[in-house]
Structure 1
Amino acid sequence: MSQTLRQHAEQQFAEELEELKKADNRERPENWVLSPWAVAEYLMGGTLANGFQVSAKYIGNRRLMETAIATLATDRALLLFGVPGTAKSWVSEHLAAAVSGDSTLLIQGTAGTSEEQLRYGWNYAELLAKGPSKAALVPSPLMRAMEQGKTARVEELTRIPADVQDTLITILSEKSLPVPELGSETQAVRGFNVIATANNRDKGINELSSALKRRFNTVILPVPASEDEEVSIVSKRVAELGRALQLPGEPPALKEVRRVVQIFRELRNGQTEDGKTKLKTSSATLSTAEAISVINSGMALAGHFGDGVLRAGDIAASLVGAIVKDPVQDAVVWREYQETVMKERSDWKDLYRACREQN
Structure 2
Amino acid sequence: MTVLRAHAEDEYAEELALLAKEDDRPRPPGWALSPWAVTTYVLGDGRRISPKYVGARRIVEVAVATLATDRALLLLGVPGTAKTWLSEHLAAAVSGDSTLLVQGTAGTAEEAVRYGWNYARLLAEGPSRDALTPSPVMRAMAEGRLARVEELTRMPSDVQDALITLLSEKTLPIPELNLEIQARQGFNLIATANDRDRGVNELSSALRRRFNTVVLPVPATAEEEVEIVSRRVAQLGRSLRLPETVTGAEEIRRVVTVFRELRAGATEDGRTKLKSPSATLSTAEAISVLTSGIALAAHFGDGVLRARDVAAGIVGAVVQEPAADRVAWREYLETVVRERPDWRDFYRACREVS
The residue that corresponds to 2:80 in the other structure is 85
Q: Bigger CA drift: 77-86 or 240-249?
A: 240-249
The residue that corresponds to 1:44 in the other structure is 43
In the TM superposition, residue 230 of structure 1 has moved relative to its aligned partner by 0.1
Task: Give the gaps of 5 or more residues in structure 2.
Answer: none
The residue that corresponds to 1:250 in the other structure is 245
Structure-2 change in CA distance of 1:251 and 1:99 (3 Å): farther
2:193 is aligned with 1:198: yes
The residue that corresponds to 1:269 in the other structure is 264
Q: Following superposition of structure 1 onto structure 2, how do residues 287-306 of structure 1 map, counting pairs within 5 Å?
A: 287-306=282-301
**What CA distance in whole angstroms lies between the structure 2 residues aligned with 1:322 and 1:204?**
21
Q: Following superposition of structure 1 onto structure 2, how do residues 1-359 of structure 1 map, counting pairs within 5 Å?
A: 3-47=2-46, 53-359=48-354
**What CA distance in whole angstroms lies between the structure 2 residues aligned with 1:64 and 1:146?**
26
Contact 1:169–1:211 (CA under 8 A) maintained in structure 2: yes
Q: SS state of the match for residue 214, structure 2? A: strand
Structure-2 change in CA distance of 1:226 and 1:314 (3 Å): same
Task: Give the gaps of 5 or more residues in structure 1.
Answer: none
1:28-49 Cα offsets, whole Å, 9 max, x none, are 00110000000000000005xx
In the TM superposition, residue 90 of structure 1 has moved relative to its aligned partner by 0.2
**What CA distance in whole angstroms lies between the structure 2 residues aligned with 1:281 and 1:122?**
48
**What CA distance in whole angstroms lies between the structure 1 residues aligned with 2:325 and 2:182?**
51
**What CA distance in whole angstroms lies between the structure 1 residues aligned with 2:74 and 2:116?**
25
Q: SS state of the match for residue 322, structure 2? A: coil
1:4-33 Cα offsets, whole Å, 9 max, x none, are 000000000000000000110000001100
In the TM superposition, residue 249 of structure 1 has moved relative to its aligned partner by 3.4
**What CA distance in whole angstroms lies between the structure 2 residues aligned with 1:294 and 1:249?**
17
In the TM superposition, residue 251 of structure 1 has moved relative to its aligned partner by 4.0
How does the TM-score come out when normalised to structure 1?
0.98
How does the TM-score come out when normalised to structure 2?
0.99
Q: SS state of the match for residue 328, structure 1? A: helix
In the TM superposition, residue 317 of structure 1 has moved relative to its aligned partner by 1.2
* RMSD after superposition: 0.7
Contact 1:249–1:307 (CA under 8 A) maintained in structure 2: no
Deviation beyond 3 Å, 4+ runs, structure 1? none
Contact 1:85–1:290 (CA under 8 A) maintained in structure 2: yes
**What CA distance in whole angstroms lies between the structure 2 residues aligned with 1:249 and 1:71?**
42
**What CA distance in whole angstroms lies between the structure 2 residues aligned with 1:67 and 1:11?**
25
1:67-99 Cα offsets, whole Å, 9 max, x none, are 000000000000000000000000000000000
1:141-175 Cα offsets, whole Å, 9 max, x none, are 00000000000000000000011100000000000
How many corresponding residue pairs? 354
Q: SS state of the match for residue 172, structure 2? A: strand
1:291-338 Cα offsets, whole Å, 9 max, x none, are 000000000111111111111111101111111000111100110001
Q: SS state of the match for residue 206, structure 1? A: coil
% same residue: 68
